[in-house]
Every structure is written in structure tokens, then in C-alpha cells.
Amino acid sequence: MASNIYATKCPCCGRSAIEDYYYKTGEQYTYCMRCGYNYSKTIEKCTTECLEYKEEKNDGNGVVVLEKKDGSRKKILLDSAVTDEQLENDKTSFLADNIDQNKSYLVLFRDGVFTVLLGNPPEKFYLSFEEYKEKMFAKYGVPDYDFMVPIEE
């Protein structure tokens, strides 16, 4: 399987999302580490006569990024409205001794508004897709295909 992975404009929040497009099969995965939006288009049925896809989409409700002191990271896309119980669990995880609170964060996304509940998202988190794209092209140069924006997460 071969794919192209690049940054694209999130259809939910307008910031930088990641797209993984399998050009030989037409399958696609898109996810936004800003608002939590995620989309997948996968082959459900393949015969000599037809090719059927299954599409799934979840509008974003936010993200949780927990970076451990050893450098490993856990990223969670919030697919649905966050419950009080889930918030308490995320806060407990955030405050654990092995978590680097300076590099971890919990952000909710509702009605087009980001609310930082814990931590400090990195500077790139706040950039519109156009600003992000401009910074990446300035740093890495413009590729032959200008839709293929480099990813830096």
C-alpha cells in the first residue's frame, strides 16, 4: 500500500489537519489534532464488478495530548461531547507524576470555539491552516504539488 501524508485544512475548525491518502485504493484518513475531527473512507467490498467504500465522520469536540516525561505521547480525539466523568479521568491522567504538564494539554471544541482546560497547546495549535501552510513552505520550500503541505506536530 502506498500513501501520501500531508497537512490539509480541517473542514470542522479550519486549522491544520493530517490527511493520509492511499492513492492506489482511494482510501483516506483525515484527523485534526486541534478540534478532534476525524474522517475515514475505507474499502468495504471489493469485487471484479464493483468497489464499495464505507465512510465515517466525527465532528470534533476537542483533544487530549498527554506527553510523558520519557517523551512518549498519547493523543486522544474527542469524538463526542465530553462527560463530567471523562473530564475527571483526563484531569487525573494529566496530573499523574509521569506526565510532563508543560507539554500536555486538554482542549475542548464546541460551536467553533476552543477552550483550553488544562496545559498549554504549542504555538502551531493556534495557527489557521493558511498561516500554518505559509510557515511550512517558508521552512521546507514549496513542493511540486502545492496541496502537499509538510507536517510538523
* Local confidence pLDDT in tens for the 153 residues of the chain: 688 999 999 999 999 999 999 998 999 999 999 999 999 999 999 888 888 999 999 999 999 999 999 999 999 999 888 899 999 999 999 999 999 999 999 999 999 999 999 999 999 999 999 999 999 999 998 888 777 888 887
How far, in Å, are 17, 48, 81, 127 from residue 134 at the CA level? Answer: 15, 43, 33, 10
CA 93 to centroid of chain Cα atoms: 20
Q: Are residues 68 and 43 in the same domain?
A: no
Q: Are residues 8 and 52 in the same domain?
A: yes
Residue 146 is assigned to a structural domain of this protein: no
Q: Are residues 50 and 67 in the same domain?
A: no
Is residue 74 within 8 A of residue 89, CB to CB? The reply is no
Q: Are residues 113 and 131 in the same domain?
A: no
Q: Are residues 48 and 75 in the same domain?
A: no
Question: Structurally, how many domains does the chain consist of?
Answer: 2
DSSP run (H or E) holding 73: strand 73-77
Parent domain of 112: 62-121
Q: Are residues 36 and 79 in the same domain?
A: no
CA distance 1 to 86: 36
Is residue 150 within 8 A of residue 139, CB to CB? The reply is yes
Q: Are residues 50 and 73 in the same domain?
A: no
Q: Are residues 52 and 81 in the same domain?
A: no
